[in-house]
Chains A and B, each alone.
Chain A
Amino acid sequence: MFSLERWQEVFETISKNKLRTFLTGVSVASGIFILVILLGVSVGFQNGIESQFQNDAENIIEIYPGLTSIDYKGFNEGRRIQLKNDDYDLAKKGSETKIEFASPMYQIFAGLISYKNESGSYRVEGVQPDYQFLEKADIIEGRFLNTNDLENKEKYAVIGNRAKKDLFGSQSPIGKYIKISGLNFKVVGVFTDPGGDREETRVYVPISTAQIVFGAGTDIRSMGFTLPKESDYDQALKQSSAFAARIENLLKTKLIIDPRDESALRINNNIENTKEIYLLISAMRLFFWAVGIATLLAGIIGVSNIMLIIVKERTKEIGIRKALGAEPLSIVGMILHESIFVTTVSGLFGLIFGLVLLEVVGPFIELDFIKNPSVNFSIAVSTLILLIAAGAIAGFFPAWRGARIKPIDALRDE
């Protein structure tokens, strides 16, 4: 297989049968190219759908307090429940390993914020660093709040992209000071949020700072948690519900709320709303797998067909070679060597062309349902290897049959 003489013979055959080589190459290259593009688009679709439907983490569990609706242990109905820092700690306690992200939140809805002559009313939220992931906020400049800011009660703010545009126009706000309720806060970051303008008018500050600045003591308005993602919806729902029920139970006991009271503590388990998305994404994944496999199959059949035709076309040549002393194995080796060489080279071409196209054009595609199409390189390479192997196996049988033809019959072939 690796003898220099064989390579010379193969190169000679290839260079003197340019059209045949070209046609084989084009069909293999285009097969791989289409597959790569298809895989890329499927990833793009998935990204697009996920970002369309999910402003916040899709598995977030949020807990808001409300008014009690049932008399309980001497307390009248209609009592307003107030959550505090230690309620958050209690909810978290014992589940630290199960939780992915967690944050309490204290907000004021209309905070007056100004920078130089520009001012506006924005929602100011005091949060912990994890909140970035609960909200799916993406930092585009600077950084998000960190644990240090929280512990030192820094007067730092991370502002939404909309707020940044309103207050700063096109200049960078990082390091500048904005006034929130008359106090100076240093801007450390700017974020975007898939929720769009509505969520990008928010301003995040450390919750420890917010509680002091807004005179809230240890009050919090709500708390949010996520659990690590599960690929199976039912599994995710089961774990999430168990987790939510446990917190509800703990808090209701501590805050002396009737277990049957549904309005005193509202638990919003987002995962219950995302069943459709889970289903849609898994259905789409299935669809693209099916299309991908079908494409691959078509590619394999195409390669096998070409191999069959090549062997058929070379029957007479095989006869001549055998009459001149070619052993059957050398015939099989010659045909396979040539075909594997051609499929590998042209397959690589198709692969690289497809990857480059996705890499160059991909980021510019901003349709509603397609976002950042890209393909996993190792998947693409293993597809190529599979195609080459399949081509070799598919080519082996015609080659073997060709080598078994009696030279006298092969020579008669016109």
Chain B
Amino acid sequence: MIEIKDLHKSYKMGKNSLHVLKGINFSVQEGELVSIMGSSGSGKSTLLNILGMLDEADEGSYTLDGVPIKNLNEKLAAQYRNKFLGFIFQSFNLINYKSALDNVALPLYYQGVKRSERMERSMAYLEKVGLADWATHKPNELSGGQKQRVAIARALASDPKVLLADELTGALDSKTSYEIMDLIQQINDEGRTILVVTHEEDIAHMTKRIVNLKDGVIIDDKKVTQVRAIQNV
């Protein structure tokens, strides 16, 4: 599903250049649930941004579902993001003035889906994350866990190939975090490929594979026995 070869990325900070990713080789098969771990500054978020086409690599190749991702213009990048990827952010990134339902429907709007169908499909995803009763509520009327569920429903709405989650439990307490991870595991059980960036050991062990990043290189990449989140709730 994802194929990365010899990926480099550096940032210019005035005169100094900060080499963040120093040759990453990495691949993900369909249906995997992978966590990328590392301390802050290890380059894990940069890697995720490049995978999410929110940022560009300096060197190396990136293939997503057989499509080479390179030299994208803004328009093409937007189309690919819409088609291939679903994002889940630490800070939820919901649009404040839109209801939960409208937030979920937004990716479908950009796919050109008609309004009535958009609403119907969005409602189905809200039901899936258990928030059907909250469809008309604005984000500021929802708890952190509920917001993240809305964000997950939104990420699923465009039926993407891969879900990318950046510290999705970072702003949540332990109990809520496990509930969210339970949802992520259920979605993965249905065959969806998911990448999770985290620095929390317990969250990482709820995935099926842990990739450890340090100073811009992968130091460890191993399959683990998945801990079901539901046991911890």
List chain A positions with a Cβ less than 8 A from chain B: 5, 8-9, 12-13, 16-17, 316-317, 319-330, 403-404, 406-408, 411
Asked if A320 contacts B93 (CB within 8 A), the reply is yes
Asked if B98 contacts A5 (CB within 8 A), the reply is no
Asked if B93 contacts A323 (CB within 8 A), the reply is yes
Kindly state whether residue B97 has any CB partner on chain A within 8 Å. Answer: yes
Pull 25 A–B residue pairs with CB atoms less than 8 Å apart, ordered by A.
A5-B109, A5-B112, A5-B115, A12-B98, A12-B102, A317-B95, A319-B93, A320-B94, A322-B81, A323-B52, A323-B81, A324-B81, A324-B82, A324-B106, A324-B154, A325-B81, A325-B107, A327-B74, A327-B110, A330-B110, A403-B74, A406-B55, A407-B54, A408-B54, A411-B93
Asked if B115 contacts A324 (CB within 8 A), the reply is no
CA distance A404 to B73 in the complex (A): 11
A145 to chain B, nearest CB (A): 72
Which A residue's beta carbon lies closest to that of B94? A320
Looking at B54, B55, B98, which has the most chain A CB atoms within 10 Å of its CB? Answer: B54
CA distance A15 to B60 in the complex (A): 47
Q: In the complex, which residues of chain B have a beta carbon less than 8 angstroms from the beta carbon of A329?
A: 75
B156 to chain A, nearest CB (A): 12
Asked if A17 contacts B78 (CB within 8 A), the reply is no
Kindly state whether residue B40 has any CB partner on chain A within 8 Å. Answer: no
Kindly state whether residue B89 has any CB partner on chain A within 8 Å. Answer: yes
The A-contacting residues of B in range 111-157, CB under 8 angstroms, are 111-112, 114-115, 154
Kindly state whether residue B62 has any CB partner on chain A within 8 Å. Answer: no
Looking at A17, A316, A325, A328, which has the most chain B CB atoms within 10 Å of its CB? Answer: A325
Asked if B93 contacts A326 (CB within 8 A), the reply is no
**Beyond known contacts A17-B97, A324-B81: 18 more, CB 8 A cutoff:** A5-B112, A5-B115, A8-B115, A12-B98, A16-B98, A320-B93, A320-B94, A321-B110, A323-B52, A324-B87, A324-B154, A325-B78, A325-B82, A327-B78, A327-B79, A404-B74, A408-B49, A411-B89
Q: How many residues of B are in contact with the other chain, CB < 8 A?
A: 29
Interface string of B67-96 (1 = CB under 8 A from A): 000000011001101110001010001110
Kindly state whether residue B185 has any CB partner on chain A within 8 Å. Answer: no
Which B residue's beta carbon lies closest to that of A412? B91
CA distance A382 to B81 in the complex (A): 44
B67 to chain A, nearest CB (A): 15
CA distance A316 to B92 in the complex (A): 12
Looking at A13, A17, A324, which has the most chain B CB atoms within 10 Å of its CB? Answer: A324
Kindly state whether residue B35 has any CB partner on chain A within 8 Å. Answer: no
CA distance A50 to B148 in the complex (A): 73
Asked if B75 contacts A327 (CB within 8 A), the reply is yes
Asked if B97 contacts A13 (CB within 8 A), the reply is yes
